[in-house]
Chain A
């Protein structure tokens, strides 16, 4: 098995595992479950982007994209947590 096959297998496995987080985002009983699912989803997307870069042999480009995605996902989940802390509705 070449490293490219390994990375492809890892990316496909991660895409399968992301379905659990999608389930949590769609059906999570509370709004904080949804934020948590979104945070995990962003982390997984960062990884899959990086593995895609390794597959296309352009890791130097994709690593910047995934760094920006990780930063945005982190700030986004912090902002969402702050926002829903104020409101008392557990939708």
Chain B
């Protein structure tokens, strides 16, 4: 069981680190939205799965699973809403200019 916990937590930490890297380094708002919407959701779900396995077959584990499902639904929804709001406000998505660094 401990190996499974280590595996799940390490996977969650990896995806959280990827999301943080994307938020820090991506060139514009829409690409940062992409990092948070996908990588972070997967990291959260993996971490909560580790917690649910640690809690054993109890009501608490069911609640942890419910939080995981809720975040799985809510995080992409909120990033989609923010992206739509930005698009309607009039932000143009980033394009590479000819003189930019590749």
Using CB atoms and an 8 Å cutoff, list the residues of chain A in contact with chain B: 1, 3, 6-7, 10, 13-14, 17, 20-21, 23-24, 29-30, 32-33, 35-37, 39-40, 43-44, 46-47, 50-51, 54, 59-60, 63-64, 66-67, 70-71, 74, 77-78, 81-82, 84-85, 88, 90
* Residue from the list B54, B81, B90 in contact with A54, Cβ < 8 A: B54
- B81 A81 Cβ-Cβ under 8 A: yes
Q: How far is the CB of A30 from chain B (nearest CB, A)?
A: 6
- A21 B20 Cβ-Cβ under 8 A: yes
- B9 A10 Cβ-Cβ under 8 A: yes
* Residue from the list A17, A23, A67, A90 in contact with B89, Cβ < 8 A: A90
- B64 A36 Cβ-Cβ under 8 A: no
- Tell me the complex Cα distance, A50–B60, Å: 11
Tally A-B pairs: CB < 8 A.
Answer: 131
Known A40-B40, A47-B44, A90-B91: A70·B17 in contact at CB below 8 Å: no
Using CB atoms and an 8 Å cutoff, list the residues of chain B in contact with chain A: 2, 5-6, 9, 12-13, 16-17, 19-21, 23-24, 29, 32-33, 36, 40, 44, 47-48, 51, 54-55, 58-60, 63-64, 66-67, 70-71, 74-75, 77-79, 81-82, 84-86, 88-91
Q: Chain A residue with minimal CB distance to B75?
A: A43
Known A23-B24, A50-B51, A51-B51: A43·B40 in contact at CB below 8 Å: yes
- B91 A14 Cβ-Cβ under 8 A: no
Q: How far is the CB of A73 from chain B (nearest CB, A)?
A: 8
- Tell me the complex Cα distance, A54–B63, Å: 13
